[in-house]
Structure 1
Amino acid sequence: MQGLLAQGISVRFGARPVLQGLDLPLLRPGEVTVLAGPNAAGKSTLLRAIAQLQPHGGRVTLDGQDLAHMPARDRSRLVGFMPQTLPGASSLVALESVIAALRAGATIGARQADHAALAVMEKLGIAALALEPLSALSGGQRQMVSLAQAIVRDPRLLLLDEPTSALDLARQVRLLSELRRLAGEGRIVVAVLHDLALAAQWADRIVLLHDGRTHAEGRPEEVLTPALLAQVYGVEARVERCSRGRIMVLIDGEHAPG
C-alpha cells in the first residue's frame, strides 16, 4: 500500500491524554496534507509521533513498512522532519548544519555533500546565508535553513511543524511553492498550519484535529465550513470565494452555543 497510514495513535503526557486513538486516512504521494485545529489539539504531537520522535501507542506505516521497527538510519533517509524552530545557540554556520543533516542519513563524500547542501540552499533562495552562524539568523531565516535540512536527503515523507510561522509573505509563498513542487515529484507532504487561508490555498487535503482525535478530513472546501469552524474553533465564520475562486475564511466573532 503506497502512502502514509497512522492508526490508533495515542500519546499521554503524565496523566493527561493528548492523542486518543487517533486515525489518519491514507495520505498518498503527490498530496500536501495540512493538519489544522485549535491550540492543544495535538497537531505537533501527532507530527512528532509520525516521525518517531515521540513515544506513542498505535502504528505508523509508510508504504506498508512500520516506521517504529525500521532502523533509525534507514528511517532518516525516508522521513524529513522540520521542527517549529532550530536552536539559536548552535555554533554551526548554516551550510554546516545542512551538511550535517545530509550526512546523518547517507554515506557521502565531503565534496559531494558540500555541493548537495549548497544546491538545496540555492533552490530555497538562502545561499547567501551559507556562512552565517545559526545564532546570527532571524527566526524566519532559521526556518528556511531548517527546511533545507529536512529536504536535503530527498525524503519520501516530509513533515513540517508550523513552517511559515516566522516568515514574511514572500518567504511563505516561496516555501509553500516548494512544498507543492516536492509533492508533485511524488512525495508525501504533511504540514501543521495555523493559518486557515494558507491551508485553503495550498493543501490538497485538510485533517482537522479536535480533542486529540480526527474531527474531519477532506478537501479544503469540505472541511472549512461554518459549521465545522464553529464546532472546533468556537467562532462564527463565513467561507466565501474570492474573484480567483480561492476559499476565504472570514471570522465574524465568537460562536454562541445554542
Structure 2
Amino acid sequence: MSGLSLNHLNVGYGRRPVLRDLSLPLIRPGEVTVLAGPNAAGKSTLLRAIARLAPATGEIRLDGEDLRSLSAAARAKKIGFMPQTLPSGAALSVLETVIAALRAGQAVEGGRPGQRAMEVLTRLGIEQLALSDLDQLSGGQRQMVSLAQAIVRDPRLLLLDEPTSALDLARQVRLLGELRRIAAEGRVVLAVLHDLALAARWADRIAILHQGGLYAFGPPAEVLTPVMLAEVYGVRARVETCSQGHLMVQIDSEIAAAVSSDLNAHV
C-alpha cells in the first residue's frame, strides 16, 4: 500500500501518555497533509514517533514497510525530518551542515556532495548563505537551512515541525510552494502547522488532533468548520470563501471569555 499508515499508536514520555490508540487514514504520496490542533495535542510528538525520536507502540508503515524495523541508516534514506529549530553551537557553515545531512545514512553518488548540497540551497533560494556560519543566521534563515537538510537526501517521507514559524510572508509562500512541488514529485509530506489560514490554503488534507486522539481528517473544507473550532480550539469563528475561492478562517471571540462576560453581566 503506497503511503504512510499509522495504526493504534500509543506515544508518551515515562508515565505521561500523549497519544492514545491513534490511527489515521492513509497519508498519501502526492499530497500535503497538515497536522493541526491546540497546544499539547501531540502534533510534534507524533512526528517524533514516526521518525523514531520518541518511544511508541503500534504500527508505523511506509509503503507497507515497518519503519520501526529499519536500521538508523535505512530510515535516514527514507525519512527527512525538519525540527522546529536547529541545535545551536555548531561551528559549521550552511554548506557543511547540508553536506553532513546528505552523508547521513548513505554514500553520495558520484562523490560530489558539495554539488548536490548547492543544488538544494539554490532550489530553496538560499544559495547566498552557503558559506555563512550557521550560528550567525536569523531564525527564518535557519529554518530554510533545516528544510535543505531534510530534503537533500531526496527522502520518500518528509516530516516538518512548524516549518513556517519564523518566516516572513514571502518565505512562507516560498516554503509552502516548495512543499507542494515536493509532494507532486510523488513523496509523502506531513507538516505541523499552527496557522489554520495557511493550512486551509496549502493543505490537501488536514488531521486535527485533540485530547490524545484524532478529532477529524479530510480536505480543509470538510475539517475547518465553526463546530470544530468551537469544540477543539474554544473559539467562535466563521469559515468563509474569499474572492479567489480560498477558505478563510475568521476568529470572532474566545468562548470561555464570552461566557465569563455573560455571567458577569448578570451579577
Q: Normalized against structure 2, the TM-score is what?
A: 0.94
Q: How big is the shift at 1:89?
A: 1.2
The CA distance in 1 between the partners of 2:106 and 2:127, in whole Å, is 22
Please name the residue that 2:246 is paired with: 246
Give the unaligned 5+ runs of structure 2.
Answer: 260-267
Please tell me whether residue 128 in structure 1 is matched to residue 138 in structure 2. no
- Pairwise CA distance, 1:105: 2.4
Matched, 1:41 2:36: no
Where do 5+ consecutive residues of structure 1 fail to align?
none
For residues 10-61 of structure 1, give each alpha carbon's deviation from its aligned partner in whole angstroms, at most 9, with x where no partner exists: 1222332111111111011101000000000000000110111111111100
Aligned length: 258
Give secondary structure in 2 for the equivalent of 1:26. strand
Is the contact made by 2:226 and 2:236 (CA closer than 8 Å) also made in structure 1?
A: yes
Distance 1:74 1:88 in 2: 26
Residue 24 of structure 1: SS of its match in structure 2? strand
Q: Residue deviations 1:214-247, cap 9 Å, x none? A: 1100000000000011010000000001000100
CA distance in 2, matches of 1:78, 1:168: 30
Secondary structure in structure 1 of the residue aligned to 2:177: helix
Question: Which moved further from structure 2: 215-224 or 70-79?
Answer: 70-79
SS at match of 1:25: strand
Partner of 2:153: 153
| 1:86 paired to 2:89 | no
- Does structure 1 residue 228 correspond to structure 2 residue 214? no
One-letter code of the match for 1:100? A
From the CA coordinates, give the structure whose radius of gyration is larger.
2
Q: RMSD in angstroms over aligned alpha carbons?
A: 1.3
- Maintained 8 Å contact 1:74/1:105: yes
- Matched to 1:190, the amino acid is L
- Rounded to whole Å, the distance in 1 between the matches of 2:27 and 2:109 is 34
| 8 Å CA contact retained: 1:105, 1:153 | no
Q: Secondary structure at the match of 1:159?
A: strand
CA distance in 2, matches of 1:148, 1:185: 16
In the alignment, residue 247 of structure 2 is paired with which amino acid?
I
Contact 1:78 1:155 (C-alpha < 8 Å) held by counterparts:
yes
The equivalent of 1:16 in structure 2 is 16
Counterpart CA distance in 2 for 1:211 and 1:9 is: 14
What one-letter code is carried by the residue in structure 2 that aligns with 1:187? R
Secondary structure (helix, strand or coil) at the match of 2:112 reads helix
- Return the letter of the residue paired with 1:157: L
Aligned to 2:56: 56
Equivalent residue letter for 1:188: V
One-letter amino acid of the counterpart of residue 215, structure 2: H
> What code does the residue aligned with 2:27 have?
L
Q: How does 1:159-198 map to 2 (within 5 A)?
A: 159-198=159-198
Partners of 1:4 and 1:60 within 8 A in 2: yes
Higher alpha-carbon deviation: 239-248 or 107-116: 107-116
| Superposition misfits of 4+ residues, deviation over 4 angstroms | none
* Alpha-carbon offset, residue 8 of structure 1: 1.1
Distance 1:215 1:70 in 2: 30
Alignment correspondent of 2:265: none
Does the 8 Å CA contact 2:9/2:20 hold for their aligned counterparts?
yes
Query: Structure 2 counterpart of 1:253, which letter?
Result: S
SS where residue 46 of structure 1 aligns?
helix
After superposition, what is the alpha-carbon deviation per residue over 1:134-164, rounded to whole angstroms, capped at 9, x for unaligned?
Answer: 1100111000000000000000000000000
1:71 corresponds to 2:54 = no
- Work out whether residues 94 and 130 of structure 2, in 8 Å CA contact, stay in contact via their aligned partners in 1: yes
Residue 238 of structure 2: SS of its match in structure 1?
strand
